[in-house]
Structure 1
Amino acid sequence: MNKHFYQKFVASALALIMFLGIFAGVDTVKAEAGLNVNADGAIMVDGETGRVLYQKNADSPLGIASMTKMMTEYLLLDAVKHGKVKWDQEYTVSDLVYKISQPTGLSNVPLRLGEKYNVRELYEAMAIYSANGTTIALAEVIGGSETNFVKMMNDKAKKLGLKNSKFVNSTGLNNKDYNGEQPQGTGAEEENVMSPRDVATLAYHLINDYPDVLKTASTPKKVFREGTDDRIVMQNWNWMLPSLVYGYQGMDGLKTGTTDFAGYCFTGTASRDGKRFITVVQNAKDVSGKNDGYKARFGETKKMLDYAFSNFTKETLVPKHYQVKGQKTVPVIKGKEDQVKIYTKSAINMIIQNGGKQDYKPVLVLDKNKLNKNGELTAPIKKGEKIGYLTVAPKSGEKVSFLTPEGGQQVKVDVIAVNGVEKSNWFVLMMRGVGNFFGDVWHGISTAVKGWFN
């Protein structure tokens, strides 16, 4: 790995860690007190909103190995969605793909030089069996070459807000495993790196933008090239799928990764009782600090998921049509009424610590562009017109942390006018003006008279 690049990453990561530590959410603090994940980096988030529930070295760039393939999956599914690639599209094996697919020491299915394979079977081999040769094949399908595809990976990382990530190949292999044929512009000793937060963010986008990925990721076993000499049974490396050796109820994704550089890594996701969580462990270890492989990464993942399902619940913090005490109306000028009632258009639901509902308060924010300097609205106002928004915040003053800005928007709801307020006609407005004038005059006279006798 490029030493200068790594040092720069570490420096920026430490700055981010200090910043984020100041603004850690109340439930995150509680979770960190109750969990001790044995890994170089880890994170646990709500799969629906991306709310961060636990984090450890969340912004430190670490090795990811085959978890890299989640980005390849994302770009493939995006290309299919936009009609750039078709599932039945055929691919002819290149020299590089043939060479990479042959070593039995790497995760692979056998691919024949010059043989044609369709995109779907290449994708299934990558998503289920973590096949490296098929991953490069897909990179060539999408980008024309793996070199071009790596650029696409890094460009997409920027668009998704992955600030502590760098991709040097599509597979997660050590670049040296390419035997000098790694993507152009990358060194033989370079590695793919991501922070736990970035891995979770990628997984969050993957399962929410393309939820069908879970149908493939949750396939415990599938036969590649049935009826041919290349037939191979692909058993999913995610051994936490319910029917496999470390089976976990509700587990349906997402991606493992293992290299000497990265250690044993795993991005897991499970759904139960209307709740979904995403977890990430990088270089997982046992309680003694030793890296004991599969057991460690799945054991630490189970620890986090058990904690999440037992200690967090989805609560309605703000019901639909909620009115904030003392702020149920907004004054109106130039209208037939002098105020308008306001309430929330919809409810706010959020994953929180059990019994923690009372720890949150509603926060009303009115649209400053619609208010005058006295905090008044100007008629006419339509029924259902947006007047501002309402969100929730911990009473302690701490901040709720989300993976993405979009996630944070899910706990903001529009505040709207309950009824319309028509604008008064010119005569009524004129008479009000006259009344106000004489009212001001009388107030001035009475004040002066009082002053004579003081």
Structure 2
Amino acid sequence: MKIKRLKQGIVSSVLLSLLIGSSGNALAEEPDLEAEAAILVEAESGKIVYEDHIDVILPPASMTKIMTEFLVHEAVDQGEISWEDEVKISDKVRQLSLDTSLSNVPLRQDETYTVKELYEAMAIYSANGATIALAEHVAGSEAKFVERMNAKAEELGMENYKFVNSSGLNNQSMKGNHPSGTEADEENMMSARATAILTYHLLKNYPEVLDTASIREKTFKEGTEDYIEMQNWNWMLPGSVFAYEGVDGLKTGFTDLAGNAFTGTVERDGLRYISVVMRTESREARFQETAKLFDYGFDQFSQETVIKEGEQVEGHQTVSVIKGKEDEVSVTAGSDLQVLVEEGQEENLTPVVTINKELLTEEGELEAPLEKGETIGTIRVEGMTEEDYLHEKMTSNAEVPLVLEEDVEKAGWFALSLRGIGSFFGNMWENAATFVRGLF
């Protein structure tokens, strides 16, 4: 898998020839994208399938709302708020929500809105006033919510980011009502990698986010004079103009500085990808470029099961044991080991066993008593081309535990004594034999 995009045709040709000559299997050419930064990630492991300028910090625009969604879900999960809470609409939110030049649903101060209603307006329609109302409800003020955003980004291992508001607007668009402690002309900043890390953790922690993100259209405050027919800005959802099979999220973004951006999620036959494209040429292009990434991911990669739960790795079926009723114990895979493999690499895969040295004696043995199911190491895979992950900690996602297949009870003192005597005389005999051989 080639990580950096090669734009010079001659270089691509030379590389392709080398790959064919060395392995007999040509690796597919990566898509040539019209985007300033882009990334495609396998969502379960965090393995990067495609990357281009992924650590360049750029304005994410309304993709900022992915972090707001995370913190709203977290606040609900931790009991700080509930989906049925009624949210107070501040003067700031009321004023911003009436700005028709921005994506908004009108919010009144004599009307009631639940957290769920405002969340749907944010996730489906990218409503900015609704987003700020949620931030104020969760943290007391948007400024305090921004502090949470930056703290959570650090906690998740994101780099190359800066949050200055909850919505992704340029602060100038807020007409003096931007969060305190931020500059009037500031805009949120985030790299493609950071955006993908955020999305990875959102899907891991709160997969139900896709239940809302996949809604193509919904009426806000149906039956009232302020109703709005909300159309999802994600035009890759089923039934949309750029519909792509399996797409169920996640968030678009646009400001004058950011240009057009999109974070996509897609799943087919159990294989899920996260994509990010930033600064494409147009609204349409962000979906067209994303489709290229998805095509590449599904056409050229597949999930392969290298070893199944309960299976053994050849050459590593047992480990020696001391002070036990048995002198060895069987070891197996604690779960299925699945890896994302590029087409043509399947035959190169080899499971590799690593045993935790801290559990072994100096002679490389386990000491009884031992319990069935106890983890003593890991099984991973070698033989694939260069692998890269969103974060170095995610490399462990390509491993499964190596576990004990049975209990091993500690031997009684009498048996241990006999073994000690046998070992003593065995050593004496070996030493004597060595001495005699030395005479000749």
Q: Same fold (TM over 0.5)?
A: yes
How much does 1:407 deviate? 4.5
Shift of 1:395: 5.2
Q: Is the 8 A contact 2:88 2:137 kept in 1?
A: no
Matches within 5 A, 1:6-25: none
Match of 1:310 in 2: 299
In structure 2, distance between residues paired with 1:395 and 1:220: 39
| Residue aligning to 1:419 | 406
Partner of 2:310: 321
- 1:67 paired residue among 63, 66, 77: 63
* Residues in 1 aligned to 2:87 and 2:323: alpha-carbon distance in whole angstroms: 69
Aligned-residue offset at 1:61 = 1.2
Partners in 2 of 1:109 and 1:395 — Cα distance? 49
Are the aligned partners of 2:28 and 2:300 in contact in 1 as well (CA < 8 Å)?
no
Instruction: Tell me the CA shift for residue 37 of structure 1.
Output: 1.9
- Report the AA paired with residue 155 of structure 1: A
Q: How far apart, in 1, do the equivalents of 2:125 and 2:28 lie?
A: 33
CA distance in 2, matches of 1:383, 1:100: 61
Letter in 1 for 2:423: N
Task: Name 2:7's counterpart in structure 1.
Answer: none
Match of 1:144 among 136, 140, 146: 140
Residues of 2 paired with 1:314 and 1:431: CA distance? Answer: 52
Question: Alpha carbons of 1:333 and 1:151: their partners in 2 closer, same or farther (altered >3 Å)?
Answer: same
Contact 1:340 1:418 (C-alpha < 8 Å) held by counterparts:
yes
My pick for the range that moved more, 109-118 or 145-154, is 109-118
Q: Within 5 Å, which residues of 2 pair with 1:227-238? A: 227-238=223-234
Deviation readout 1:300-353 (Å, 9 max, x if unpaired): 001111111212211101122232222222122223332222221222012222
SS of residue matched to 1:92: coil
* 1:41-67 deviations in Å (ceiling 9; x for gaps): 111111222221111111121110000
Gaps of 5+ in 1: 1-25, 285-290
CA distance in 1, matches of 2:367, 2:104: 68
The amino acid of 1:49's aligned partner reads S
Decide whether the 8 Å contact of 1:337 with 1:421 is kept in 2: yes
After TM superposition, give the deviation of residue 194 of structure 1 in Å: 0.8
- Aligned pairs for 1:43-192 (under 5 A) are 43-192=39-188
Q: Is the 8 A contact 2:27 2:344 kept in 1?
A: no
Identity %: 49
Displacement after TM superposition at 1:404 (Å)? 4.7
Q: CA 1:383 to 1:82, structure 2 compared with 1: closer, same or farther past 3 Å?
A: closer
TM-score scaled by length of structure 2:
0.89
Q: What residue number does 1:241 align with?
A: 237
Measured against aligned partners, the alpha-carbon deviations of 1:251-286 in whole angstroms (never above 9, x if no partner) come to 1110000011111000011112222111100101xx
Other-structure match for 1:261: 257
| 2:398 equivalent to 1:402 | no
Q: CA RMSD in A?
A: 2.0
Q: Residue 161 of structure 1 aligns to which amino acid in structure 2?
A: G
Q: Report the TM-score, using the length of structure 1 for normalisation.
A: 0.87
Match for 1:194 among 187, 190, 197?
A: 190
Counterpart CA distance in 2 for 1:322 and 1:99 is 63
How far residue 430 of structure 1 moved from its aligned partner, in angstroms, is 2.1
CA contact (8 A) 1:31 1:54 kept: no
Q: Is the partner of 1:63 in helix, strand or coil?
A: coil
By how many angstroms is 1:192 displaced? 0.5
1:196 Cα deviation from its structure 2 partner: 0.7
Q: 1:333 to 1:92 in 2, by over 3 A?
A: closer
Which residue of structure 2 lines up, in the alignment, with residue 331 of structure 1? Answer: 320
1:406 Cα offset (Å): 6.6
Counterpart of 1:307 in structure 2: which amino acid?
A: Y
Measure how far apart 1:379 and its partner are.
2.2
Give the corresponding residue for 2:435.
Answer: 448
Q: Which residue pairs with 2:348 in the alignment? A: 359
Alignment partners' CA distance in 2, 1:260 and 1:106: 12
Residue pair 1:32, 1:54 contacting (<8 A) in 2 also: no
Q: Distance in 1 between matches of 2:427 and 2:266?
A: 68
What is the letter of the counterpart of residue 185 of structure 2?
A: E
